[in-house]
Chains A and B, each alone.
Chain A
Amino acid sequence: MKRVIILLLAMFFVFVGQTVLANDVSKGISVGNAGSFTGDAAAPCMEIFNSSQLAVDEWNARGGINGVQIKHVMGDDALDPAQGINVARKFTSDKTMYGVVGPPVSHIAQASLKIYGQSNLACITTAASKPELTESGYKHFFRVNARNDAHGWNSALFIKNNLKAKKVAILNEKVAYCENMAQQTIKGLKKLGITDVMRDTIVAGSKDYSSVLTKVKAYKPDVLFFIATTAPDQAIGVRQAKELGIDAIFFGTEGARDKKDFIEASEGAAQGAYVYHFGPDIYSIKEAENYVKKYEDKYGSLSGFGPPAYEAMNILLTAIDMAAKDGEISRKEVISKLAAIKDYKGILGFPVSFDEKGDLLGGATYFFKVNGKDFEQVAVLTGK
C-alpha cells in the first residue's frame, strides 16, 4: 500500500513538473540581465543594464505583456567566469524568467552559455563577439553585434586603407575575445598583403606594459593595435606608449570607447588615437533621438554599449510578447519566436535579423578617432 502511494505521488510530481514547461503568463514575467556590473567593465555594463531598464520601463508603461508587469533582474558576474556560471544557475532556476540580455563578455559567455542552453533560456548578447559562441550549435543564443571575424577583417581593412600602415604591431590579452580578435585581424592583414606583423601578449590588470612596449618601440611599427578588454588597461597602454616615445598610431578596441576611463584617464595621451566599436554613433541616427534623450536625462552621458542593449531588450520583449499571446508561455516558444524575428527596425540604424546560427545578418564595424574630450566617427566598414 505504502509503495503504491509513493508511486502515485511520484507520478503526480512528474505530471506537475511537465505542466510547468508551459506557464501561465499571469504568474509573472521576468527577464534577466547578465553582465559584469562591478569590476573594470562596470561602466559599459551598467550602460547595458540601464538601457535595458529603459526598454522594460517603456513596455511596462504601455501595460506590460498581457497586462503583466515585467520584472528586470540583474545578475552580476564581476568579470569572473565562475561567477557568470552562478548567475546562469540563478537565472535558469527562476521559473518566471523567459529571456536574458547578456552576457556581454566573450569568455564569460563561453563559460555560462551551456547552462542557459540546458534549460532553453534565450540569451541575446549585445557585445560578446567571439565567433565560436554561435558556432557551438546553440539554439538559444543570439547576438545583435557583429562577430570578431567581421571586426577583425574590417579592422585589417581600416589599418591598411585608412591608417595606411605597412608595419603593424599587435598586442593582445590572453582571454577568448582578445586572442581571437588578434588572430582574425592578422588573418585579414595577411590577405591584404601586410605580412610585416609583430604579435605579443599582455596581462590584464598588470598595470605595467613598459617592457613589452619597449619591444614594440624597437620594431618601429606604423600602427599599434592594442587589444585589451577594459578601458583602464588601454588607458595605461596608450599612456606608457606615449611615455616611451612610440610614434605609431595607437589603435584600441571597443572597450576603449569610454570617455572617462580611456580619454580622461590617459590625460591627453589618447589624443589622435583610434578605436573600433560594434555600435554606431547613436547621435547621428534619427530613430534613436527619443532613446538618447531619455537615457541622458536619467543616467548621464552615453558611450556605445547602451544602444544595442536597448535594441536587444526590445527584441527579446517582442518575442516574449508574441509567445505570450495565447496566455501561456514557455521558454522554448520564446526561442522560436526570437529566431523568427525579421528586419526588426529599432534604433540602430539598420534592420536586425538573425541567421540560423543566431548571428546578426550583415554586421558592421564602426571606427572612431579621439578628438579632444570625445570620439568622432571616422569610418563604417562592412567587409568591403
Chain B
Amino acid sequence: MEDILGQLAQQAVNGITIGGVYALIAIGYTMVYGVLSMLNFAHGEIYMVGGFVGWWVLQIFSVNHVPVMNAALLISFMIVLSMGISALLGFLIERIAYRPLRNAPRMNLLLSSFGVSIFIQNFVLYFQGAKVKVFHISHLIPEGLRVFHIGGVVISFMRILVIVTCFICMVVLTLIIKKTNIGKSIRATAQDIEAAAFMGINTDKIIVIVFLIGSALGGAAGILVSLLFTQVDYYVGFQAGIKGFTAAVLGGIGSIPGAMAGGILLGLCEAMAVTFFPSAYKDVVAFVILIAVLIFRPQGLMGEKIREKV
C-alpha cells in the first residue's frame, strides 16, 4: 500500500511537470480559437522551433559542452530568446497564412494551418537534419542541485524549473488578461469580434497580439521540455500539438483558465494511468477521459455554454 502511495506521489510530480507544459501549449490553441474560431494546427511546430532555438543558444554559448557564461543567465537567455523567436514566427504565420484568409470559410483557414505545419516541419528537417539534437545540460546545474529527495519522491532541478516557469507564465498571462487594457480588448474581441470593432478596438492588432502571446508561450513550452528531456528533433511538434489541443478541448476551448486546468489534468491522468495500466494504454486513458468530458460537459470543464442567438 505504501508502495502504491509513494509511486502515486512520484507520478504526480511527473504528471504536473508535463501537464504544465501541456497547459502552456493549450493556451496558444485556446486564445487563437477565442478570437478567430479557428484551430491553429501549426502551433505544435512553434513549440518545436522553440526547442531548436534553445539548442542553438546553448550550442553557441558553450565550448565543449561547458557554458561560457553564468548558467542561470544562460538558461534565462535560452527561454527568453525561444519565446521571442517563437512569437515572431507566430506573427509571420498570422500575417502570411491567416490574414489573407480572414473572410474565407473556416475550412480554408484550417487547411492553411495544416500547410504551415507541414512547411515548418520540413523546413527544419531540411536545414537541421532528422537527427536528434542533444542538450548537454550537466554543466548547467551544479552536482548537488541536480535531484532532490522529499520522502521517497525524487524531483530534479529541471522539473522544478519547468513547474515554476509554467506557473509564472500562467500568472503573468492571467494578470494581463484580467488587469490591463489590452487584456480587456482581447476579452472583448473574443466575445464578439464585430461588436469589439464597433467599440473602436483595433481587432487586427488584437489578433496579432494574441498570436504573439500564444506563440511565445508555445516556444517557452518547447524549450522547457527540451531542457527537461535533453533532446529535440523536427518531429516533436506533432505529438505536443495533439496533446495541447486535447488539453484545450478538455478545459473548454476558448477559455484560458480552462486550458491551464485541462493541461495539468491531462498530464496527471496520463502519469497516473501508467501506475495501473500497461504504459501503452497511457494515451487511451487520456482520450477516454476527454470523450467522457465531452459527453457529459460538451463545453469542456470551464468553457461557457454558447446560446444560439435568434
Q: Which residues of A contact B147 (CB under 8 A)?
A: 243, 245
Q: Which residues of B contact A265 (CB under 8 A)?
A: 134, 230-231
**Contacting residue for B130 out of A39, A211, A239, CB 8 A:** A39
Task: Flag whether A42 is at the interface (Cβ < 8 A).
Answer: yes
Q: Which residues of A contact B130 (CB under 8 A)?
A: 38-40, 42, 78
Assuming the contacts A211-B271, A214-B11, asked whether A200 and B279 have C-beta atoms less than 8 A apart, the reply is yes
Q: Is the CB of A215 within 8 A of B275?
A: yes
**Contacting residue for B230 out of A40, A203, A236, CB 8 A:** A236
**Contacting residue for B134 out of A174, A210, A214, A235, CB 8 A:** A235
Q: Is the CB of B274 within 8 A of A211?
A: yes
What is the total of A-B residue contacts with beta carbons within 8 Å?
95
**Contacting residue for A211 out of B136, B233, B282, CB 8 A:** B282
Task: Flag whether B14 is at the interface (Cβ < 8 A).
Answer: yes
Task: Flag whether B131 is at the interface (Cβ < 8 A).
Answer: yes
Q: Is the CB of A202 within 8 A of B18?
A: no
Chain B, interface size category, equals 35 or more
Task: Flag whether A191 is at the interface (Cβ < 8 A).
Answer: no
B242 nearest CB across to chain A (Å): 12
A80 nearest CB across to chain B (Å): 10
Q: Which residues of B contact A218 (CB under 8 A)?
A: 3-4, 6-7
Interface 1/0 per residue, B264-299 and A, CB below 8 Å: 000000110011001110100000000000000000
Q: Give Cα distance in the complex from A211 to B138, angstroms.
A: 22
Residues of A within 8 A of B (CB-CB), count: 35
Q: Give Cα distance in the complex from A244 to B148, angstroms.
A: 10
Q: Which residues of B contact A39 (CB under 8 A)?
A: 130-131
Task: Flag whether A205 is at the interface (Cβ < 8 A).
Answer: yes
Task: Flag whether A267 is at the interface (Cβ < 8 A).
Answer: yes
B235's nearest neighbour on chain A, judged by CB, is A205
Q: Is the CB of A243 within 8 A of B156?
A: yes
Q: Which residues of B contact A42 (CB under 8 A)?
A: 129-131
Q: Give Cα distance in the complex from A243 to B229, angstroms.
A: 11
Task: Flag whether B74 is at the interface (Cβ < 8 A).
Answer: no
A71 nearest CB across to chain B (Å): 26
Task: Flag whether B191 is at the interface (Cβ < 8 A).
Answer: no
A216 nearest CB across to chain B (Å): 10
Q: Which residues of B contact A318 (CB under 8 A)?
A: none
Counting chain A CB atoms within 10 Å of each CB, the highest count among B65, B274, B278 belongs to B274
A243 nearest CB across to chain B (Å): 5
**Contacting residue for B274 out of A207, A214, A240, CB 8 A:** A214
Q: Is the CB of A215 within 8 A of B279?
A: yes
Q: Give Cα distance in the complex from A206 to B239, angstroms.
A: 8
Assuming the contacts A42-B131, A205-B233, A207-B231, asked whether A212 and B274 have C-beta atoms less than 8 A apart, the reply is yes
Q: Give Cα distance in the complex from A208 to B279, angstroms.
A: 12
Assuming the contacts A232-B134, A243-B147, asked whether A174 and B274 have C-beta atoms less than 8 A apart, the reply is no
Q: Is the CB of A236 within 8 A of B233?
A: no
Sample 28 A-B pairs with CB under 8 A, ordered by A number: A38-B130, A40-B131, A43-B131, A174-B280, A200-B278, A201-B278, A202-B279, A203-B280, A207-B225, A208-B18, A208-B229, A210-B14, A211-B15, A211-B271, A211-B279, A212-B274, A214-B7, A215-B274, A215-B275, A217-B10, A218-B4, A218-B6, A235-B134, A236-B230, A240-B229, A245-B149, A261-B134, A265-B231
Listed from nearest, the 3 A-B pairs whose CB atoms lie closest are A211-B274, A212-B279, A232-B132
Given A218-B4, A236-B231, A267-B65, 15 new contacts (CB under 8 A): A39-B130, A40-B130, A42-B129, A200-B278, A207-B229, A207-B236, A211-B275, A211-B279, A214-B271, A217-B7, A217-B10, A232-B132, A236-B230, A245-B149, A261-B132
Q: Which residues of B are at the interface with A, using a C-beta cutoff of 8 A?
A: 3-4, 6-7, 10-11, 14-15, 18, 65, 129-132, 134, 136-138, 146-147, 149, 154, 156, 225, 229-231, 233, 235-236, 239, 270-271, 274-275, 278-280, 282
